Structure 1
Amino acid sequence: MATMSSSSRSRRVQSTLALILAIFVAFAFITRWIDLFIVTGSLLQKKLHLLNNTPQLHSSDFDCSLNCSDIPSFTTTTNLVFNSSAAPSCPDYFRWIHEDLSPWKGAGIAREIVEAAKSVANVRITIVDGRLYVVKYKKAFQTRDSITLWGLLQLLKLYPGRVPDLDLMFEFGDKTVIHKNEYGRNASLPPPVFHYCSDESSYDIVFPDWSFWGWPEVNIKPWEELKEELKEANERIKWIDREPYAYWKGNARLGPRKDLIKCNASNGQDWKARIYDTTWAEEKKQGFNNSDLASQCTHRYKIYVEGVSWSVSQKYIAACDSMTLVIKPHYYDFFTRALLPSVHYWPIGERDKCRAIKSAVEWGNAHSDKAREIGQAGSRFVQESLAMKNIYDYSFHVLNKYAKLLKYKPTVPEGAVEMCSETLVCATKGRRKRFMKHSAVRSPGDSPPCMLPPSYEPRGLLNLLERKRNLTNQVQLWEEQERR
């Protein structure tokens, strides 16, 4: 009996030990699982946070069965509480907003002044209570009108309840339309017209162009997507390993570009330029296989030259890390006035441009560190200062400042048609629809617009212009020293 009792106790001890071991193993497993859940859950939360707080994302949630009137207006501000004083300052080029609106600073803008631009504008755009209405006066080139309206609708979605009621005219063409010589000292106020570009002899109010949301006709992707591809291209081929020539590709049958084609090597003369004429109709037939912008970051130098007027290509050219050779422009857009010669680009005079291009290339190859520095500074400017958040913030601030100048309460004009994202997405297909979806703002932003810097003091503006002249003169001096 004693033996049996001892054996029984032994079995019970073994069972107890086995049970304790099993509990320990189970506890360890559960603890490990909980830790893993916490870690992966935390990562998942971080990913969801990024998704929910990134305005530039794919968004396919468009209900084509709805009319604009069925969709709530963008009048309700986000539930997030913003500390506006903690918002970062906007890039310096925002300061030009004050200058562009200065003609109307004293007298303000009356309704009749706005309506005086009917004969030159493509459309009238009115925003009332967060809803956008359009009166069309004339047809725009390609889809510039619908893509620009798309960008404005995304702005309303990004900053709901913050875009004020306003009433404005917009021109979608290349040439400026409000010329200063038509409005002398004794003339009436010029009508305010928003436009993609302006020049020193015009009053056109510059605004971000349509291509930031994509240019479907020539297969140029929305900027936020394309600039990442350009950044990757810069990593693939470093500056020092690129072709030591100046590169340009585009439609060479416009304006000053007709002369640029002469800078190709010919008759035994090599101007150190490689110029390629592009026919977009042929490119389209070939599926745009030869016009991919990210595959064109292969030369140490790239040329920017205007076409009919300014060109949307300057940001693509500058983003390549190549030193940009800018043939003296006559027009500016909303950001280019902040670019400095010999800092962000190399200035090229209009006269004898082939020889100037050759001199710039030879100087850059002899001073590769400095040339690479200029190229990277220009690239960094467009990659960072032209982030889509800044594009929306610039749009917000120029519209907000403009609205404050209005001397009347905007109302929906007779004959106006309401536009919404669904109107535009559901009315198109193919590449156009894909680009709209890729550039759609999917939720309100989680931060306020950047802080608009003050206007230039008169002396400060003169100093800036003088600095640009001095930097340009310095480049000319470097070229002369190199030729000796």
Structure 2
Amino acid sequence: MTVTMIIQLVVFCLCLAILPSCVSYASQDKWDKYLHRIDIANASYTGCGSSDEASSCYADVIADDLSAWRSRGIGKADIERAGATLATRYQVLNHKLYRNPRCVFPARCEGVEHFLLSILKDLPDMDIMINVYDHPQVPKYSQPSPVFSFSRDSHFSDIMYPAWTFWSGGPAVWPLYPTGLGRWDLQRDIITKKADATPWSEKESKAFFRGSRTSSERDPLILYSRKHPEFAAAAYTKNQAYRSKKDTLGEEPAEGVPLEDHCKYKYLFNFRGVAASFRFKHLFMCRSLVFQVGEEWLEFFYPALKPWVHYIPLDTDLKDFDEVLQFVREHDDVAQQIAERGYDFIWNNLQLSDVQAYWLQLLTDYAALLQYKPQLAEDMIEISP
């Protein structure tokens, strides 16, 4: 063996000896950006303050939603303008609740009215225009109108209220939930019971999603799952408008999966639908890691949840999804900690009592902005408990 060959052999052996540590170092360096984001997010997170304060987690949302009316107040003309939208008119007069007779979605109105009736004795007189359609009604740069909607994005200025689904009214998912997902207090208990029976160590390390194609933003995960079934279990189900396999991206529709059975998986995905997705709060109850795709569409409680503290955010194009999934798979303890923080927040701060408290604070602050004394409008019907 020549000297040159000996030197080459020595160099080769040295490379083999240090390669694992080099690879490990390079891999760790690759993940530092995510670990840093998590550290920074948690260091700056201050929580919600005293749990004795009504809506302590969400007070900033109420203040922001009503800010357009602080200096000018709300007059009769504003209510009339709001009445030209798809919103349903409600009135509170002398601690009685009235509604316009026409409600397109009776179950949704019932979900709203449950909370209005529960706080009625504490409410001042007011006119309220409540939208029970999925989509918000007031474009951001139009003339302001005091319309209440359950969800909005940055292009709208509707006042957010807790969705009817906390009590009743959908969304209906046939055949699993033909009349809606069910009362939030009951679903919390059902899903948490299943989560307790499926500890983190027994969950499958897969990205899971099951739902209909209400938004094409869901397509990348579905296609990824078809290509990498070892890492993801995502599929489309039928929706009410299903006509052919074109509506499920070229494959036969999958069977629906009850919310509690999502707990089988470590990584659960939430996408927008027509507006904000109703499933978001349910996913946290599994004690699984929630990925929120897109940050535009909101419900009233979303702003109190913080990215990298309670969930992991992803862009709508899912361009970083493969890398982030690899990160959480290699940092299982970090993933579990985020999952637990998400569960703790929703469990402790989104009970039905918190929803009721939000309604009360929102409507009390709103009524204080009215610049006139409401009178019973024509054709209104009284809503009894």
Query: Which shifted more, 404-413 or 112-121?
Result: 112-121
2:149 aligns with one of 188, 191, 195? 195
CA contact (8 A) 2:139 2:155 kept: yes
**Alignment pair present for 1:292 and 2:253:** no
Corresponding residue for residue 237 of structure 1: 198
Letter in 1 for 2:294: K
Change (3 A) 1:394 1:385: same
Unaligned runs of 5+ in 2: 1-49, 242-254
Corresponding residue for residue 5 of structure 1: none
After TM superposition, list the pairs within 5 Å mapping 1:28-107 onto structure 2: 87-88=52-53, 90-107=55-72
CA displacement at 1:207 relative to structure 2:
0.3
Corresponding residue for residue 123 of structure 2: 163
**Alignment pair present for 1:256 and 2:217:** yes
CA displacement at 1:255 relative to structure 2:
4.3
TM-score (norm 1): 0.62
Letter in 1 for 2:223: K
Q: Secondary structure at the match of 2:269?
A: strand
CA contact (8 A) 2:124 2:364 kept: yes
**Alignment pair present for 1:416 and 2:370:** no
**Alignment pair present for 1:122 and 2:87:** yes
CA displacement at 1:236 relative to structure 2:
0.4
After TM superposition, list the pairs within 5 Å mapping 1:205-216 onto structure 2: 205-215=159-169
**Alignment pair present for 1:362 and 2:326:** yes
CA displacement at 1:265 relative to structure 2:
2.6
| RMSD (Å) for aligned C-alpha atoms | 2.4
**Distance in 1, Cα, partners of 2:230 & 2:81:** 49
**Alignment pair present for 1:275 and 2:234:** yes
The 4+ residue runs of structure 1 with deviation greater than 4 A are none
**Distance in 1, Cα, partners of 2:87 & 2:126:** 17
CA displacement at 1:108 relative to structure 2:
0.4
Which protein is richer in helix relative to its size?
A: 1
Change (3 A) 1:98 1:88: closer
Deviations 1:22-79 (A, max 9, x none): xxxxxxxxxxxxxxxxxxxxxxxxxxxxxxxxxxxxxxxxxxxxxxxxxxxxxxxxxx
Letter in 1 for 2:154: E
Query: Which shifted more, 237-246 or 215-224?
Result: 215-224
**Distance in 2, Cα, partners of 1:235 & 1:391:** 25
1:326 aligns with one of 292, 295, 303? 292
Corresponding residue for residue 479 of structure 1: none
Unaligned runs of 5+ in 1: 1-84, 184-189, 283-288, 422-484
CA displacement at 1:406 relative to structure 2:
0.3
Change (3 A) 1:281 1:114: closer
Query: How many percent identity over aligned positions?
Result: 26
Corresponding residue for residue 70 of structure 1: none
CA contact (8 A) 2:265 2:288 kept: yes
Change (3 A) 1:89 1:221: closer
Deviations 1:86-137 (A, max 9, x none): 9446432222101100000001000111111122133101011111111156
1:317 aligns with one of 283, 292, 312? 283
CA contact (8 A) 1:195 1:206 kept: yes
**Distance in 2, Cα, partners of 1:95 & 1:201:** 19
Corresponding residue for residue 75 of structure 2: 110
CA displacement at 1:270 relative to structure 2:
5.1
Structure number with the bigger relative contact order (C-alpha 8 A, sep ≥ 6) is 1
Q: Secondary structure at the match of 1:248?
A: strand
Change (3 A) 1:215 1:191: closer
Deviations 1:270-292 (A, max 9, x none): 5822112222569xxxxxx9542
1:381 aligns with one of 325, 342, 345? 345
CA contact (8 A) 1:132 1:419 kept: yes
CA contact (8 A) 1:302 1:324 kept: yes
1:344 aligns with one of 296, 310, 316? 310
CA contact (8 A) 1:255 1:306 kept: no
Change (3 A) 1:291 1:245: closer
Q: How many residues align?
A: 317
Corresponding residue for residue 223 of structure 1: 184
Q: Secondary structure at the match of 1:214?
A: coil
CA contact (8 A) 2:58 2:358 kept: no
Corresponding residue for residue 172 of structure 1: 132
- Which of the pair has more CA radius of gyration? 1
**Distance in 2, Cα, partners of 1:368 & 1:293:** 23
